[in-house]
Amino acid sequence: MYSHTRKVGSLGRYGPRLGRKVREEIKKVEDDALKNRACPTCGSARVKRQFAGSWKCATCSAVFTAGAFTPKTRKSTASADESAKEK
């Protein structure tokens, strides 16, 4: 089915506004936010963003805090990188 937002996805709501660089940044953040992440309680990948910093698992209804736009925080990502380096 043809959609007028086929190329730009969630950026379609901006219409002709904003430049390429800004759009790329927004798309990166939004795609990340919509990706399914594993729930820290049950491990299911059905975690949805409620609002900035609050995430809810659709399987076990666990609510937890994390990053505003992704269920990972920059700190947790950094420490994961560090532990990967140590190995």
Of the candidates 54, 10, 59, the residue with the CA atom closest to the CA atom of residue 34:
10
Q: Judged by CB under 5 A, does residue 56 bind Zn ion?
A: no
- CA 45, CA 37: separation in Å to the nearest integer? 5
**Residue of 8, 11, 26, 62 that binds Zn ion (CB under 5 A):** 62
**Taking contact as CB under 5 A, which single stretch among the options 26-34, 50-58, 66-74, 76-84 is the one that binds Zn ion?**
50-58
Q: Number of helices and strands (H, E) in the chain?
A: 2, 3
**Residue of 29, 38, 42, 63 that binds Zn ion (CB under 5 A):** 42
User: What angle is formed at CA 6 by the lines to CA 25 and CA 44, rounded to 5 degrees?
Assistant: 70
CB of 67 to Zn ion, least distance (A): 17
Q: Judged by CB under 5 A, does residue 41 bind Zn ion?
A: yes
Interaction site with Zn ion (CB under 5 A): 39, 41-42, 44, 57, 59-60, 62
